[in-house]
Amino acid sequence: MTEHLTTATIEADPQVPAIRITRDFRADPEQVFRAHTDPDLYARWVGPHELSTRIDHWDARTGGSYRFTNLVREGSERRLDGGEEEFHFFGSFHEVRPDRVVQTFTYEGFPDGVSLETMTFEDLGGGWTRLHSHSLMDSFEAREMMLSSGMDIGVHEGYETLDSMLAEGVVA
C-alpha cells in the first residue's frame, strides 16, 4: 500500500534555483486539476487562512493569463511589505491540459522575479492524486526570497482548505 503525502513536502533544489512541492489529495486527478484551474474554486482555497483571494482576471487555457489579489482578512495581524493589505500576482498559462499545467507566476511587488511553474497530476489509484509542482526561478536569491516569504504557510493552509473542499464534495 502506498503511503500518502497528506502534508506537502517543500524542497529547494541544491543545483538549480527551483522549489519542488509534492502533495497527495484524496481525489481524482480531474478534481485536483479543476481546483487549480477553475477561478471560483481556486479563490476559495489558495493561500494562508489570514488572506482572502479576489480573482481579477482568469483565462486558464493554453495561451491564457491570470491576475489575482490576496487581501488581508479583517482583524488579521498579518502585514507584509511595510503594512500593505493587498498583494497582486499575475502570470501566463503556457500549457493547460488535464494532466499538466505550465504557467508563469509573478508577484507585482517584485516584477523581475518571474518563476516558471509546472504542475502535474499523477493518478495514484484508489481515489488518490499526487500533485507535483516545480517552480524555477531566475536566481538562487529569488528562490530564497520566495522560501522566506511565508509561502510554506500558504501552501500548507491552502492545501488543508482544499482537502476540506474535496471531502465536502465542493470540487466535483
Model confidence at 123: pLDDT above 50: yes
pTM of the model: 0.90
Q: Percent of the chain having pLDDT more than 90?
A: 78
Q: Total structural domains in the chain?
A: 1
Q: Identify whether 66 is part of a domain.
A: yes
pLDDT band at 2 (very low <50, low <70, confident <90, very high): low
Which CATH number belongs to the domain containing residue 57 in this structure? 3.30.530.20
Q: What pLDDT was estimated at residue 135?
A: 97
Model confidence at 8: pLDDT above 80: yes
Q: Identify whether 3 is part of a domain.
A: no
- Rounded to whole angstroms, the Cα distance separating 120 from 14 reads 21
Q: Average the pLDDT over 24-45 and give the result.
A: 97
Q: Identify whether 129 is part of a domain.
A: yes
Q: What pLDDT was estimated at residue 5?
A: 78
> Which domain covers residue 125, as residue numbers?
9-167
Cell numbers describing residue 53: 483571494
Q: What pLDDT was estimated at residue 77?
A: 62
Cell numbers describing residue 70: 490576496
- Rounded to whole angstroms, the Cα distance separating 43 from 38 reads 9
Q: Identify whether 121 is part of a domain.
A: yes
- The listed range with the strongest mean pLDDT (4-8, 69-73, 158-162) is 158-162
Q: Identify whether 2 is part of a domain.
A: no
Query: What is the separation, in whole angstroms, between the first and last Cα of the chain?
Result: 26
Q: Identify whether 88 is part of a domain.
A: yes
pLDDT in tens, 45-88: 999 999 999 999 999 999 999 999 999 877 666 554 455 688 89
Q: Identify whether 1 is part of a domain.
A: no
Mean pLDDT score of the chain = 92
Q: What is the 3-state secondary structure (H, E, C) of the chain?
A: CCCCCCCCEEEECCCCCEEEEEEEECCCHHHHHHHHHCHHHHHHHCCCCCEEEEEEEECCCCCCEEEEEEEECCCCCCCECCCECEEEEEEEEEEEECCEEEEEEEECCCCCCCEEEEEEEEEEECCEEEEEEEEECCCHHHHHHHHHCCHHHHHHHHHHHHHHHHHCCCCC
